Structure 1
Amino acid sequence: MSEDKSLKAQAWTLFDRIVEPALSENGQPSSNPWWKNASGLWFKPDYSVLQRLLGVPLLLGAPSQSGVPALALDVWTAYELRRAGFEPDLVWPRATPPRILPSTLVALRREATREQRRVLDGMLQSGKTYGGETGASANILGKNYVKQVDVVMSTWNTGPEIMISTKRMDSSFGKNAANRVEESYGDAKNLRSRHPQAALGFFFSLRSTVLTPQFEDVAAWIIDLLGKLGREDDAYDAVCLIIPDWSDDVAAPSGDDDDGEDPLVSAGLAGEGLAAEEPLPLELPESELDRRLRSLPTVELNRKAVPENLRPEVFFATIINRVLDNSPVNFHREARRLRANPNPR
């Protein structure tokens, strides 16, 4: 197993255990994330889970190129969509392997006999990607090219309903910021042109060191650009920013914030391509798993520095409302029920 796959296998073990207690046995939310007060309806993200997920790459010392630091964002985003009541198996990455599973296979498994399900589960949980139909990455055709999308909700009869790209920048702010924003803008146009009714989002993480005097102007510029990405009808519906903060005593993920995504691999033209196997969680003794979870570095979130229009509360509410507004009332019943019965405050 390559080093990157080994790190992802370790990360998935920890990620899965962190999100598992917050969801019920069927993957549905154990509590309603919607709240209502005098100002109206609002979505309350689970920041405590996000902070623990962000600690996993730091614990593992995972470099950016391994994909693990960015994967923490994917896991949390998918977790929040499941908390919102969307069907767990249709939100990718899923909470169990395979992380990508087409709705047709979900339906097949649901209707299978016990013996058929045993055989099917043995195949699906093997780590094989079966021509790219299952696995760890979702590659979606836009107007002009195939794009790997980090968090997706899709079925055969609806097509993609949610497409969210995540990016993380922990260093080299001045060097890479422009490239990341330009790439995201082009990706939005590409995906929106083919899927105009889908909820399209961009989730960006900037380490808090960007707020130091050295990068003050760069930080203001990045935050301003992120706000503008969500203003056009044919681009993103919502853009999100988080600013994680951790001690300099913790080894930060190394590298130049390249998450390892290769457009040619997404298109099936280079590298391991569609035949690559999915990294599976490691089987760790409970004592070792508990020890690692207790050892997670502390990660705080600077929420005051994030403008209101870029906060996760607004981001998830916008994405969820767009999906529900653009689908028939008999679709996504649980998500509609949760939104219609918010917690009082």
Structure 2
Amino acid sequence: MAAKPSAKDKAWILFDEIVDQAAPDGEHTNPWATNSDGSLRYEPDFDTLTRLLGVPLQLKAASQSGVPALALDVWLSYELRRAGFHPDQTWPRAESPRILPMPISNLLAALPRTERASLQTRLASKSSMSGVTSSSANILGKNYLKQVDVIMTDWATGPELLISTKRMDSSYGKNAANRIEESYGDAKNLRMRHPQAALGFVFGLRSDILTKEPDTAEWLIDLLGKLGNEEDAYHATCLIMFDYDDALPDSDVEETETSALAEPGVDGAEEDEGLQQDTPQDDLGVSLENLPRLDLLHEKIPAGLSASRFLSIMVNHVLDATPVTMHREARRRRRAATPDPAAVGESGIVHDTPVAE
């Protein structure tokens, strides 16, 4: 007997459709553009972000379902693919399984068609297979394991990019301090074991905090900026502020994270059969039509916390920390936006100053 689809099952179908429409046949737009002074800037796809953020509202998914925060994870991984990183390197992936180690991806590519199709079906039918695939990733820091929301890693390189995301839509005074304290500790924990990895933090915040709890908003935004300015913490931090009318279900329950005693890498336990990926949307009662309207408040975001600056720093850090023989498509996309070839060194690396959108 098939399990009843959860809010996250329904959300993934909508998320995948939104991303597919943004990148038809896997063809992503180039996010890099040129400023009037010849420097590069990263232009995030905010239209896609707005649609993704509308999914939890459409499903009326409470925070403990994980769906509201997951919208940010899906968008960030999509942006990394826009930047030119391999679709199987950016987790969560755009299809099930959401985490698939590159050796498994390379194995699939090398198999004959019939064997490849059979194995792909097997992998996609489960949200997790012990030691192989997973719906979430745990990374060992200096002292404890941490579930990382958006990640790029491989056995040959170790973690190359680690992004943690948090989201708050209510109960600001009650939860804000805890979220910041957790993020600060996680940054120290991960940075000390993986100093070469691009380490970032993205915070999603509903705009009504500005009127309901302005002092908390001022304090929170100030601390987010400071989190990205310490040499041994995050390389960059980002604030996404959104405004909407329809309220999500109230809940003071914190989002569940993987226990620090779990095995590193993919989840340690095999899960039951998950939702089949070919399940029609109509059968789940979900639709992209008439997604609730949601606005992004760019003007309320300090330049140091902008998504443009954040993504530019993350992508550039990964490329600067790896040989030119790696991530060739990401380098090509960045180079293609450079109007003056002389500005590009022999390594192909362009060092630019990120700007706010």
* Residues 68-79 of structure 1 mapped to structure 2, 5 A cutoff: 68-79=67-78
Aligned length: 335
What's the TM-score once normalised by structure 1's chain length?
0.91
Relative to structure 1, is the Cα distance of residues 106 and 303 closer, same or farther in structure 2, using a 3 angstrom cutoff?
Answer: same
How far does residue 281 in structure 1 lie from its aligned partner after superposition?
6.0
Query: Could you tell me how far 1:65 is from its partner in structure 2?
Result: 0.5
By how many angstroms is 1:260 displaced?
Answer: 1.9
Higher deviation after alignment, 288-297 or 154-163: 288-297
Higher mean C-alpha deviation, range 169-178 or range 34-43: 34-43
Q: Distance in 2 between matches of 1:178 and 1:129?
A: 33
| Paired residue secondary structure (1:97) | coil
Q: CA deviation at 1:119?
A: 2.2
- Structure 1 residue 343: deviation in Å? 7.6
After superposition, the C-alpha distances for 1:213-243 in whole angstroms (9 at most, x for unaligned) are x311110000000000011121101101011
> Are residues 2 and 210 of structure 1, via their aligned partners in 2, closer, same or farther at CA, if it must alter by over 3 Å?
farther
Letter in 2 for 1:122: T
Which consecutive segments of 4 or more residues in structure 1 shift more than 6 A? 286-291
Aligned to 1:177: 176
User: What is the CA distance between 1:279 and its match in structure 2?
Assistant: 4.6
- What amino acid is aligned across from residue 311 of structure 1 in structure 2? S
Conserved? CA contact 2:7–2:67, under 8 Å = yes
| CA–CA distance in structure 2, aligned partners of residues 330 and 75 of structure 1 | 27
Q: Which runs of 5+ in 2 are unaligned?
A: 340-357
- For the pair 1:300 / 2:295, whether they are aligned, the reply is yes
1:242-264: CA deviations, max 9, x gaps?
A: 111001xx232431262222434
1:88-133 per-residue CA deviation (whole Å, 9 max, x = no partner) reads 1110000000000001101111111112202211221111522143
| Structure 2 residue identity aligned to 1:100 | I
Kept in 2: contact 1:166–1:202 (CA 8 A): yes
The answer to whether 1:260 aligns with 2:256 is: yes
Pairing of 1:16-55 with structure 2 (within 5 A): 16-25=16-25, 27-29=26-28, 31-39=29-37, 40-55=39-54
Match in the other structure for 1:251: 247
Distance 1:278 1:195, change over 3 A: farther
Map Cα deviations across residues 184-216 of structure 1 (whole Å, 9 max, x no partner): 01111111111110000101011001110x311
**Alpha-carbon offset, residue 340 of structure 1:** 0.7
Q: Does 1:326 pair with 2:325?
A: no
Moved more, 281-290 or 195-204: 281-290
Q: CA RMSD in A?
A: 2.2
**Contact 2:14 / 2:286 at 8 angstroms: preserved in 1?**
no
Looking at structure 1, the residues matched to 99 and 221 of structure 2 have their Cα atoms a distance apart, in angstroms, of: 32
**Cα contact 2:54–2:294 (8 A) shared by 1:** yes
Q: Which runs of 5+ in 1 are unaligned?
A: none
Give, in whole Å, the separation in 2 of the partners of 1:310 and 1:85: 23
8 Å CA contact 1:147–1:267 kept in 2: the answer is no
Q: Which residue of 1 aligns with 2:228?
A: 230
Name the CA distance, whole Å, in 2 between partners of 1:257 and 1:326.
39
Question: Per the alignment, do residues 343 and 281 of structure 1 end up closer, same or farther by CA in structure 2, a change over 3 Å counting?
Answer: farther
Q: Is the 8 A contact 1:77 1:151 kept in 2?
A: yes
Alignment of 1:138-157 (within 5 A): 138-157=137-156
2:333 corresponding residue in structure 1: 338
Contact map agreement 2:65 2:255 (CA 8 A) in 1 = yes
- Secondary structure in 2 matching 1:163: strand
- SS of aligned partner of 1:53: helix
Structure 1 residues 61 and 130: CA distance shift in structure 2, 3 A: same
CA contact (8 A) 1:207 1:243 kept: yes
Q: Is the 8 A contact 1:131 1:275 kept in 2?
A: yes
Structure 1, 182-191 or 277-286: larger mean CA deviation: 277-286
Which protein is richer in helix relative to its size?
1
Distance 1:209 1:7, change over 3 A: same
AA in 2 matched with 1:14 = L
Q: Deviations over 1:284-312 (max 9, x none)?
A: 54668997211210010111110001010
Counterpart Cα distance in 2 of 1:165 and 1:201: 6
> What is the SS of the residue equivalent to 2:299?
coil
2 CA distance for matches of 1:117 and 1:139? Answer: 27
Q: Structure 1 residues 46, 279: closer, same or farther in 2, change over 3 A? A: farther
